[in-house]
Amino acid sequence: MQKTLKQIIAESRILKAVIVFFVSYIVLSVVWLQIQHVYASGIVFVASKFIAELKDARIVEITKQSNLIISTFSYVNRGKLVLVDVQHKMLGFAFTVPMIISILASLYPFLKRRKRAYAEALILLLLFHFLYVFFRGMFQLTNIFMIRGIEAESVFRLALYEFLSAVTSYAAISFAPFLIVIYIFVRFRKKPVS
């Protein structure tokens, strides 16, 4: 007896997962193009608040220019107001979100405690993106402050921020999406029925 394509799809969880991935990736990519600037602006805003606190500066504004989100910081140096722009590329971290969500959606039939799994995945995703923007902003602001004489020069501190910026940049683009998915799958997968 031969099975029809509908029967094969109905029986195969893996095939369903592949179909869910492709459909959700196409839909989410279209939606994401419309809302990615809101997500990126939110991440940049929160990270900039932390940066401002650590650098004893104030956020003047956060603006969007094509693919860039620019955080403008103000700092009073010797009674003079200094404005500093820190640029963040949206594509530096936000473009992987549809892929991560699509992969997680395709894992739905294989996971137990799904609410917890998706909550942890979201927290990890936000954390990776926050760290990317935070360390990149700290590096840029520290570099500008040192050049302008606002901060004492420290090669070690600048090299540390540059290293952390490079590591989180690489992580956000390269392996963080897969690390999140593998973590969620291993931690929350359903045990096979014997």
- Residue 123 inside a domain? The answer is yes
Phi-psi region for residue 144, left (φ > 0), alpha (ψ -120 to 50) or beta? alpha
Query: For the chain, how many structural domains are there in total?
Result: 1
- Residue 193 inside a domain? The answer is no
pLDDT at 168 over 70: yes
Mean pLDDT along residues 110-118:
83
pLDDT at 121 over 80: yes
Domain that holds residue 127: 5-188
- Residue 194 inside a domain? The answer is no
What pLDDT, on a 0 to 100 scale, did the predictor assign at position 94?
A: 79
pLDDT at 115 over 80: yes
Full DSSP string of 106-144: HTGGGBSSHHHHHHHHHHHHHHHHHHHHHHHHHHHHHHH
Q: How confident is the model at residue 50 (pLDDT cuts 50, 70, 90)?
A: very high
Q: How confident is the model at residue 31 (pLDDT cuts 50, 70, 90)?
A: very high
- Residue 124 inside a domain? The answer is yes
Q: In terms of DSSP H, where are the helices of the chain?
A: 5-11, 13-55, 97-106, 114-147, 155-170, 176-188
- Residue 63 inside a domain? The answer is yes
What pLDDT, on a 0 to 100 scale, did the predictor assign at position 48?
A: 92
